[in-house]
Amino acid sequence: MRETSTVKVSMRAENYPASTAKMVNYDCEMELVGPRMHCSGFLDFILDSGEFYMKPPERMREQRGVTEPWVKLPAGKLGQSGTDFSQLSKFGDIERMLPEGSTINEKRKTEFDGRKAVRYDVTVDMNVTLEKGEQRHRQRAQRMLDRGVEELEYVFWVDERGLPMRITSEIPDMAGIPSDARMVITYSDWGEPVDITVPPAEKVDEQYTQDPV
């Protein structure tokens, strides 16, 4: 169990405009039982025991009158972005990871980073996802359809234990996004120690405890 109880995850927006990439590039450490996680990027945040701690950039803190580095709010108040991050901790059979509307176009044995792997090429139909998918998937599907995107293409690499190694998603033709842009999520260090430490109370601004920043 221990070898699959922790993982490190990096999310990178490749070939995006720099201003966009900095908003979505994150490095996370996770304990999958809980789950607990610590992610660093444009915002730093920690999820632990249903509590969500967020460290906004200094300029944002100044604009909103936040007096300490961190704020705290219940996980239920995170909105879609918090839901997206929390889903990173849900792994298992590859077909169960995919939303409704997914079609596995090809499955083949290969290597990834010098290790044996299975590659899955997947197409997701946004119309089917919107009609039949879970709420979090329906919201994303609606956003894509609003932009005229009816299908998304993904590639999954999975190791011999069935654990994800990398997921890439091709970005369809959208205004302001280059045609070669893609999102890349890489999983590493399964079972290795992670550092997830809740900030001390004196570093948390209680004024914003119940409200998102």
- pLDDT-based confidence at 210, cuts 50/70/90? very low
> What Å distances lie between residue 42 and 58, 61, 85, 114, 184, CA to CA?
11, 13, 14, 32, 17
Dist CA 13 CA 213 (whole Å): 24
For 96-105, 151-160, 183-192, which range has the lowest pLDDT when averaged over its residues? 96-105
Average confidence (pLDDT) over 144-159: 91
Quick check: 213 pLDDT over 50?
A: no
Average pLDDT, the chain: 84
Q: What is the rounded CA–CA span in Å between residue 191 and residue 83?
A: 24
Whether pTM > 0.85 for this model: the answer is no
β pairing state of 6-14 and 26-31: antiparallel
- Ranges of beta strands (E only) in 43-114 are 44-48, 51-55, 70-74, 102-112
- Distance, C-alpha 33 to centroid of its chain: 17
Q: Does the structure show a pLDDT above 90 at 124? A: yes
User: Is there a contact between 94 and 158 (Cβ–Cβ < 8 Å)?
Assistant: yes
By DSSP bridging, strand 151-158 and strand 164-170 are antiparallel
Is the pLDDT at 158 greater than 60? The verdict is: yes
Highest mean pLDDT among 34-38, 61-65, 192-196, 202-206: 192-196
Q: Which of 167, 165, 160 is nearest to 190 (CA)?
A: 165
What average pLDDT does range 146-168 have in this prediction? 91
